[in-house]
Chain A
């Protein structure tokens, strides 16, 4: 199972775009990249998932370069309620995930 590396913490201000980059140098051919958001005392919430290129949904975009060794989660116009821990994970749908420490995003007014 591939492991990921992401910044421990990031600060931003309301209304700004936030980009969180994740490194996964040992990603396997059949691995997908998934990002989760977690608030204190709650389960991780699925944000977005992709295999290559760019994926966009109503809350975020995911950019994956051709070599797939990294990915970037983009959150447009963050608000205070986006303050949370964001996890980047790679896996092949076996369901077994190795969680890193995640990125604690602090959004300031």
Chain B
């Protein structure tokens, strides 16, 4: 299976600041995605991180708020900009990994608390 590392694992952020979350995969993957999980809720897809081009955002998420980079096939970043308490969530990176069959794996998540 794919090994996905996220940094930071946890952080407390001040209102109005921005934080960049990193996602590193131990092998090259074509597809990478970012999800958000608000407290007590299920996961919601934010965007598809496209290598070499702009990310594709889902309804309700915009690039100005959640800029994403994907410089190569093993790495992506998600920035949460101008944070407010409503952005307090777990942010998760996921990848589609080939191996013996295409399976979607998730990182351990980055737990952000905005105060």
Chain A residues within CB distance 8 Å of chain B: 34, 36, 41-46, 49, 87, 91, 93-102
How far is A96 from B61 in the complex, measured between Cα atoms in Å? 15
Contacts of B101 in A (CB 8 A): 49
**In-complex Cβ contact of B42 among A34, A93, A102 (8 A):** A102
A44-B43, A96-B48 in contact; A49/B94 too (CB < 8 A)? no
A49-B101, A91-B104 in contact; A96/B45 too (CB < 8 A)? yes
**In-complex Cβ contact of B96 among A42, A95, A98 (8 A):** A95
Which segment, of B11-19, B62-70, B79-87, B107-115, faces chain A?
A: B107-115
Chain B residues within CB distance 8 Å of chain A: 1, 4, 31-33, 42-45, 48, 90, 92, 94-96, 101-109, 111
Where chain B touches its partner, the secondary structure class is strand
Number of A-B contacts (CB under 8 A): 55
Contacts of B95 in A (CB 8 A): 95
A46-B104, A95-B48 in contact; A41/B94 too (CB < 8 A)? no
A84 shortest CB reach to chain B, Å? 14
How far is A58 from B59 in the complex, measured between Cα atoms in Å? 38
A41-B90, A100-B42 in contact; A95/B104 too (CB < 8 A)? yes
How far is A93 from B96 in the complex, measured between Cα atoms in Å? 7
How far is A81 from B90 in the complex, measured between Cα atoms in Å? 22
